[in-house]
Structure 1
Amino acid sequence: MMQTNPFSNQFILSGVVCKTPKYSQSPAGIAHCQFVLEHRSTQIEAGLERQSYVRLQVIASGEEIQAQTQHLYVGQVVQVSGFLNRHESRNGLSQLVLHAQHIERIN
């Protein structure tokens, strides 16, 4: 019997592709695209304006999303929706990564 999870992990971020996308394939044959998304905006917090700046690695995996990663280039504005996950590098440093489920070109 499948149990429902009371927690949600959904994330949407728009920004500029700031590193050239890298395409690869896992040993299991799963297609991957990795790129870095840069977001800059002004947000309101406690009634005051605050500058927000984020650079986040994005991973798009699987055949279904690969069509959305075709022709991505540095400087392109996109909106990415998906879920956040922690990745650990070979040297043991942890990093927050956005696993894309949908990528939409804004311009």
Structure 2
Amino acid sequence: MNQFQVSGRLCEKKPLRYTPAGVPVAEARIGHESEQLEAGLSRQVVCEIPLLALGPKAGWLDAAPLGVRVEVTGFLAARSRNSRALVLHVQEIEFLEGKENGQVLQEEG
């Protein structure tokens, strides 16, 4: 199984680009902060996770302002054939601020 879910604030975005086939691609980073219990002790967790969104989700991510709170679900994969660095490929993104008016974008199928 390869499914990952994290919440945080959108802290970085690259300009929207397109594949040679015309598919939109958005790259961003989510900043996560939480307190977790590990071995019976409280641990502060602070990290940034790279995101990659394709298709309609790329447009949503590109339009989101920096600093907005989001919850992202997707799968982890290597950045490229030459890089083993992990990237979270976005399958679902939920905008948490203004949730009563917010929207969830999910992978179809």
SS in 2 for 1:28: coil
Alignment partner for residue 47 of structure 2, among 43, 46, 54? 54
CA contact (8 A) 1:39 1:54 kept: yes
Deviation at 1:62, TM superposition (A): 1.8
Alignment partner for residue 28 of structure 2, among 32, 35, 38?
35
Q: Does 1:99 align with 2:89?
A: yes
Residue 75 of structure 1: aligned partner: 67
CA distance 1:81–1:38, change in 2 (3 Å): same
Please point out which of 2, 6, 9 is paired with 1:13.
6
Task: Judge conservation of contact 2:26–2:62 (CA < 8 Å) in 1.
Answer: no
Q: CA–CA distance in 1 between the matches of 2:35 and 2:52? A: 26
Percentage of pairs with the same residue: 34
Give the gaps of 5 or more residues in structure 1: 1-7
Map of 1:4 onto structure 2: none
| TM-aligned CA distance change 1:41 to 1:71, over 3 Å | same
Contact 2:26 2:54 (8 Å CA) reproduced: yes
Q: Deviations over 1:23-71 (max 9, x none)?
A: 11001111111111010110000110001112111000123x2453252
AA aligned opposite 2:92: H
Structure 2: give runs of 5+ residues left out of the alignment: 98-109
Aligned residues: 97
Cα RMSD for the two superposed structures:
1.7
Map of 1:5 onto structure 2: none
SS in 1 for 2:63: coil
After TM superposition, the score normalised by the length of structure 2 is 0.80
Partner SS for 1:9 = coil
> When the two structures are superposed, what TM-score results if normalisation uses the length of structure 1?
0.81
Runs of 4+ in 1 over 4 A off after TM superposition: none
1:21 deviation in Å?
A: 4.3
